[in-house]
Amino acid sequence: MVCWPRRWWLVLTVSLVLVLAVIQWAICALTFASAPAAEYSQLWGRHGELWQAGSRLPDFSFAGYHRGDDPIPDIEVVTDVTDFGADGGDNDDDTEAFRNAIRATRRGAILIPTGRYVISDLVAINKPGIVLRGAGPEKTILYFPRDLEDVRPNMGTTTSGRPTSNYSWSGGFLQIDGRDNGKELANIVEPADRGRRRIKVDRPENFRRGMSVRVELRDDASQSLIKYLYAGETGATDKLRALRRRTDFVARVAKIDKESVVIDRPLPFAIQLAWQPTVYAFVPNVSEVGIEQLGFEFPHRPYAGHFTERGANAIALVDVCDCWVRDIRIHNCDSGIFVTGRFCSLDGIAVTSDRQRDQQRNSTGHHGIQVTGDDNLVRDFDFQTRFIHDLTVAHCHGNVFCDGRGEDLSLDHHKYAPYANLFTNLDAGAGTQLWVCGGGAALGKNCAAWGTFWRITAARPLAWPPERFAPELINIVGLTTEQSSVRRPQGRWFEAIAPDELEPKNLWQAQRAIRLHGLDGRSATK
């Protein structure tokens, strides 16, 4: 046995420590060298210091359940559908058992245990505080053997006069139905700029601090409101002339003084007296309803194509507030989810299909998720198939779509002036359908002003959308692209930042963090 001198052991130990330190340094250096350098938008800056309310970059931080202030709650289970006769182990119809469970539950979660349940007709929730909860989207399956058109006929026509079912663009087998019962409070009597929080009203005595209010604008005969929302680039609007166009938004009263009301969020539009600006109380009658941890399945059959749909639709949220859908899988649908409510969250939505695709559009359904309400949040979605319109917005604003992916995403702006909606941190897949949109003729350009597209990756280079898509006053930051940047303060804004280098990656999260942590002093009350 060799006996090493003590000092040699010391030398050897020190040498090993030095070698390990060099290796660690080399690993860190390589990691740092390989990590892309962060880049920041000139609309935002490093920490949001370049952004302010009223700029061309809207405030999206209020989107989602409880205006983005609170997480979706875990509601206590109070009943079980099997107590009302539902059986997930047979092929019998469970529709009435579900309806009876909802009728019998005042508030709380209704458990749907592991199994496969047959639903043959619409199941509606029209009261607050009800949650339908399964054991997981792979364990609790709701199966729908029929179409809505078969059980609730609802034929109509397209804008071009083609006969089709109205379920082609609306309705769901699980439907949450509500309405706003708010009454008129006051007229706005003085113009206000976009981004302001103070509005002058004729009856300030009707307001109280903390109440929710809805500010509504109505278009005039010259369509000046529509022209404003399109930043003067409307496209053809002949058929919009026959429609009474209006827009509104919901805020809370922060302060009341002698002649004015101060709201807690910036105006998303300017106010002109020609648009008959009116303030209403916002009093939704259905809220705090959830659908979670469920799988939805429809029969396996070929998809016949556009406007052939008969209502294999999963969920509809209609004129509700502060509701949610989370941890859901939808299989073989015509359309997945329709939302016309406010401050609702869709979180963790997977959509799959093994339908035969229509040959013309290579799609298995019509609408993946359609939002026509305001200030809703759609996050963490996974489209493992293709729809004619994957994500749809129409005549709405303030909605956020983030942290999602698709086989070949289409960001469908369906006309009627959808303005100031955000698409951020998305994987568009193949990237061939990004700007492919629908909507009838002469209903304006697809997208209106302040639409924002922030960090969108794709397998192929993306470009500024065609002229028919939107006015110049939209924001595109951080696309997979080979184009160069164009930054015009009052026109086209295209920042060709590599998506992997853009910070923040999720603009909604960044804006929300600023607001909730009280760091935003740039949009002070005026």
Q: How many residues does the chain have?
A: 526
Q: Which residue has the tokens 């030398």?
A: 11
Cα separation of 42 and 280, whole Å?
37
Phi/psi for 297 (5° steps) reads -130, 140
Burial of 255 (0-12, 13-18, 19+ CB in 10 A): middle
Q: Note the helical H segments in 105-137.
A: none
Residue 2, pLDDT score? 45
Cα separation of 434 and 453, whole Å?
11
| Phi-psi map region of 415: left, alpha, beta (phi>0 left; psi -120 to 50 alpha) | left
Report CA torsion sign: 245, 251, 252, 254: negative
What is the full DSSP assignment across 455-522?
EEE-SS-B-PPPTTT--S--EEEEESBSSPPEE-TTS-EEE---TTTEESS-HHHHHHHHHHTT---T
Which domains does the chain possess? 65-178+286-471+499-516 (2.160.20.10), 184-281 (no CATH)
> Token pair of 321, please?
């507030």
SS3 for 34? Answer: helix
Query: Which of 256-274 are b and which e, b meaning 16 or more Cβ less than 10 Å from the residue's Cβ?
Result: beeebbbbbbbbbbbbbee
Phi/psi for 510 (5° steps) reads -65, -45
Close Cβ partners of 504 (under 8 Å, ≥ 6 residues apart): 44, 510
Residue 245, pLDDT score? 82
- E strand or H helix at 98, and its extent? helix 95-104
DSSP 95: H
Per-residue pLDDT tens listing for the chain (526 residues) = 445 455 554 555 545 545 555 556 655 444 444 556 899 999 999 999 999 989 999 999 999 999 999 999 999 999 999 999 999 999 999 999 999 999 999 999 999 999 999 999 999 999 999 999 999 999 999 999 999 999 999 999 987 788 999 999 999 999 999 999 999 999 999 999 999 999 999 999 999 999 999 999 999 999 999 999 999 999 999 988 766 689 999 999 999 999 999 999 999 999 999 999 999 999 999 999 999 999 999 999 999 899 999 999 999 999 999 999 999 999 999 999 999 999 999 999 999 999 999 988 999 999 999 999 999 999 999 999 999 999 999 999 999 999 999 999 999 999 999 999 999 999 999 999 999 999 999 999 999 999 999 999 999 999 999 999 999 999 999 999 999 999 999 999 999 999 999 999 999 999 999 999 865 433 333 3
> Could you tell me the pTM of the whole model?
0.92
Q: How far is CA 414 from the centre of its chain?
A: 14
What is the full DSSP assignment across 394-445?
-S--S-EEEEEEESB--EEE-SS---S-EEEEEE-BT-SSTT-----TTS--
> Token pair of 203, please?
């009856």
Q: Are strands 335-339 and 365-371 parallel, antiparallel or unpaired?
A: parallel
DSSP 106: S
Residue 158, pLDDT score? 83
